[in-house]
Structure 1
Amino acid sequence: MPFKKLHSDIQEKLEYLDIIKPTPFQSSSIPVIKSGANVFCTASKGSGKTTTLILTTLQKLKCEAVGNAPRAVVLVENKERAMELYDAFLMYTKHNSLRVYVGYEQLHVDVQKSEIFMGIDILISTPKSMNKLFLLNGVNISELKIFSIDDAEFLIQNLAYTALMSITKSIKKCQFVLYSEQMHPKLKRFESFFMEYSKIVSI
């Protein structure tokens, strides 16, 4: 039972939300992600990928704020998805000290830089916005522990793919977890770059 081995704060929140039993995908993926390996997670819509992303991020950060630099990054396709995921994270972080921040292209990069500088734990962003922050030294990645990509099919587009490759070149030591419905050949290519020695969980 993967939920039984999660942080007590997460278990309490799951109980409050009446989420008792993990989906088959969660049973398979959570222990592998918790092990610290780079993971390609592929499963159909509705299998619990987003909840898995949130739970494993919270687990990695031990449900508490530390320092000022982000320790988790979640990359998404666009502003709409960023806001959806931000709201989903808030359901789980409402009663702990974790600070979640959302950035996207429409929000001026200087605003993002100054707000991130104030101190965050989890950064949700789009590839273009994140890459711009990197180029302007707007985000400190020295404390990064986990980098997740939600619904990663959007990375098949050249602009998003190029932005991600640029971002990951600067990251030295970090766990990468990529979620998608199918394993596209272009996503598999990441194995030669930042997804070294990765494992695959497919349901």
Structure 2
Amino acid sequence: MTLFEKLNQHFEETFPSAGITAPNDLQEKVLQRSKQGGDLLLVAGKSAGKSVATAIAALEKVPEQCEGSPRVVIICADSEQAKLTAALLVKVSRRKEIYVELAHDKGNMIEQRNHIFEGADIVVGTAKRIYDLYIQNGINMGKLKLFILDDAETMLKETTIGQLRRVADSLPKCQRMIFANALGPKLEKVMDDLLLNPLVLEF
């Protein structure tokens, strides 16, 4: 049985209902890396399946509901992408009662903070809102297992890079993944700051 088949079985065959019938090569390799541990830089085009890979990696780290602080934080390009990613995670994990909470710029930050405090296994949001919650002690990173930047090439403003560095500096020893549509000099610098000896996959 493959890693994906085991994960789908664990989540009671919910992957097909979310449109995920079998992983492509990219998703299989991301799942393998999530299982192995170690940082990852993934460079692939918009239609390559990175959003599904993000969900698979997150659920591999949180197969069951956890108590206390989040185990996975996913930072997306914008609020809409955060909502889509969270919706996919909720659909797949619905039979395990894993708590997925949003933390994006278009939501009420106090409500988001309260929901995270009440118990969030996975937090999906935007760089600015995750940063704002972090500096106000609204999100505890102490038990984090996986930190993902999705569409990282959209997060290269100096202000955003500074926010990401500050959050990343606070993380415990955990796995970090950066997903991007394209790799350029500025993103390479961010990669050097945020990742430790990453596996680099290009599709």
Does the C-alpha gap of structure 1 residues 196 and 107 become closer, same or farther in structure 2, counting only changes over 3 Å?
same
Q: Runs of 5+ in structure 1 lacking a partner?
A: none
Work out the percentage of aligned pairs sharing the same amino acid.
24
RMSD: 1.9
Shift of the alpha carbon at 1:178? 0.9
Q: Runs of 5+ in structure 2 lacking a partner?
A: none
- Which residue does the alignment assign to 1:176? 176
The SS at the match of 1:147 is: strand
- Which residue does the alignment assign to 1:103? 103
Shift of the alpha carbon at 1:17? 4.6
Describe the superposition over 1:108-150 as per-residue Cα deviations: whole angstroms up to 9, x where unpaired: 3322222211111000111111111111111111110001111
The one-letter code matched in structure 1 to 2:78 is: N
Matches within 5 A, 1:99-138: 99-138=99-138
The SS at the match of 2:171 is: coil
Q: What TM-score comes out, normalization by structure 2 length? A: 0.90
Is the Cα–Cα contact under 8 Å of residues 33 and 177 in structure 1 kept in the other structure?
no
Q: Indicate yes or no: 2:164 matched with 1:142.
A: no
CA distance in 2, matches of 1:194, 1:161: 10
The SS at the match of 1:101 is: strand
Describe the superposition over 1:18-48 as per-residue Cα deviations: whole angstroms up to 9, x where unpaired: 6333212123332123211100011112211
Shift of the alpha carbon at 1:100? 0.3
Is the Cα–Cα contact under 8 Å of residues 2 and 26 in structure 1 kept in the other structure?
no
| Aligned residue-pair number | 202
Is the Cα–Cα contact under 8 Å of residues 144 and 172 in structure 2 kept in the other structure?
no
Is the Cα–Cα contact under 8 Å of residues 176 and 195 in structure 1 kept in the other structure?
yes
Shifted more, 103-112 versus 71-80: the winner is: 103-112
Q: What TM-score comes out, normalization by structure 1 length? A: 0.90
